[in-house]
Amino acid sequence: QSVLTQPPSVSGAPGQGVTISCTGSDSNIGAGYDVHWYQHLPGTAPKLLIYGNNNRPSGVPDRFSGSKSGDSASLAITGLQAEDEADYYCQSYDRRLSQVFGGGTKLTVL
């Protein structure tokens, strides 16, 4: 059971948008700590998508965006493309456990 809760799966058709939620508690996201997001393609290393709740590293398309409110955060992906099909993880700091990840969400592009 992960400290940060994500839906196991989401799906969307090419061109559509999806949102992936990440719910924490008052010992992590709700305590004001930032949320970061990673994309993990099979057989590759995870890739940073969003850091500091809503910042994109250089090279990440603006189709990816992040937000945070209260003890939850969200990753939004617009204009879905086939290559977006991957696992997505949120990550934050927890006062008791240090760095923690969500359980991951599998995105299927229909």
Partner 1 sequence: QVRLQQWGAGLLKPSETLSLTCAVYGWSFSGYKWSWIRQTPGKGLEWIGEINHSGTTNYNPSLKSRITISLDTSKNQFSLKLSSATAADTAMYYCASGEYNWNDVWFDPWGQGTLVTVS
Interface ranges with partner 1 (CB under 8 A): 2, 33-34, 36, 38, 40, 45-48, 51-52, 57, 89, 91-93, 96-104
Which lies closer to partner 1 via its Cβ, residue 66 or residue 109?
66
Are 47 and 61 within 8 A, CB to CB? no
Residue-level length of the chain: 110
CB of 36 to partner 1, least distance (A): 4
Which lies closer to partner 1 via its Cβ, residue 77 or residue 105?
105
CA pair distance 40, 88, nearest whole angstrom: 6
CB of 34 to partner 1, least distance (A): 4
Are 67 and 34 within 8 A, CB to CB? no
CB of 103 to partner 1, least distance (A): 5
Work out the angle at residue 2's Cα, subtended by the Cα atoms of residues 63 and 104, and round it to the nearest 5 degrees.
Answer: 30
Which lies closer to partner 1 via its Cβ, residue 13 or residue 97?
97
At 29 the three-state DSSP class reads: helix
